[in-house]
Structure 1
Amino acid sequence: MGTLQGLDRGLRALNFISLSPEGLTVAEIASQVGIDRATAYRIVQTLEQQGLVTRGPGKRVRLGAGAVTFAGRFHPQLVRAAGPVLRNLADATVNAAFLSVAQGDQECVPVLAAEPSRKSIIRVGYRIGMSHSLTRGANGIAILALHPERADEPEAVREARQVGYSVTAGELQHGATGVAAGFDVPGLLGASVGVVAMGQIETSRIGTLTLEAASVLASLSRA
């Protein structure tokens, strides 16, 4: 039985991209798949429109946040466990808990959320799927702290690397405080789990809880 050439090429390109954390250029994708650059460019455009890849500095193509959906379905134990981990974190802190992933090397995307069983009076307006810069918000800072130290990185990243979690205030929503811890996910440039709350919070206690949640999710992502 024959194969669909376009689909075969797209899947092969996606496989090569997933094996390259630093990303691939369109020319490199064309070379590895054995196609011309114009075809490789159209494949990248198609994958990008579906959120499966993203292009960062140097136009290098990396996995996008959309790939997390398929990875989660391939590892059902991770999907089943991620929800309870977030709900436990939300209940322990009585604040909304979020799971976020890096999209390329510039953006952070929240992909899953949980509200506490005992509802807080003020809710945080944090939208799932709404990307923002990795340099803004506790979830993005926590992901950057996973990476090797850079001379030009924000001070908040250095602090997060030292204590194990990040803390930001008012960066994504006025009056909101975020606490997040990062963890590695195979095939991605990092993920983070954290809490967003309005008003003052017990930063140290919540930081410890997010670290524990990050450790659990890191183990599940490698299962």
Structure 2
Amino acid sequence: MARRPPMKIAPSPSETPEHDAVRERERSSEAVQAKMREERTGGAVPPPEPTSLEDDTNGKAKVDKPASDPKTKKSKTAPKASAEPKNMQAPAKAQATTPESDAPAPRVEQRISVGVPVSLATSKALEKAAIKLGTDTDYIKRALLPKARAAFLKRAGANNLKATSKSMKLLFEQRIDNGVALMPVKLVVDDEIEARVRGFIPDPLDVISVNRLVAAFVGAEFDILVSAL
């Protein structure tokens, strides 16, 4: 029996080169059309078309009427925010400050060192007091000078310097070579005290130093303390 030669099967039309070229042109045409649609819509992807009327209605309901949050339903029964406690203190009111124009000007103080004059008569009284107390005159000076300084500041603060102005003028006018001794004392005076001590000696041009005036007033107080021994 003779062998039949194998049958030749023709290639499928989809596998031919011509068919491949057609499919490549279709894909290129689809890409060009997609790019043109994207340029017309500004790059926005068009929403998918609803498959049916029911799907379209349901989609709108989901967008326009979102599902209510179960927590909001309970807001009616939720407790109210607690109010501020009644016993909370109110913020302190700002203290009213007086204008600078109404406030008194601060006093200007100065520390001075003075030589308190001691007249010849007071020196003799010191010697008698030292013999009486069984001590020396330097001891009495150290004891009485702080008291004389405090008495002057108290009298000047009370504006009562007129009581010792007579003795002050005598000590101010005496010369050191006439037997007047000087005792060093330090103290602090302000501009108000300075103005008061200057009111007892004419000095329109402020030639006399405040140290000399204060020293004479302290000397007047020292005389009063020595005479009391």
Calculate the TM-score normalised by the size of structure 2: 0.21
Larger radius of gyration between Structure 1 and Structure 2: 2
Identify the structure with the greater helix proportion.
2
Q: Which has the higher contact order (CA 8 A, sep 6+)?
A: 2
Identify the structure with the greater strand proportion.
1
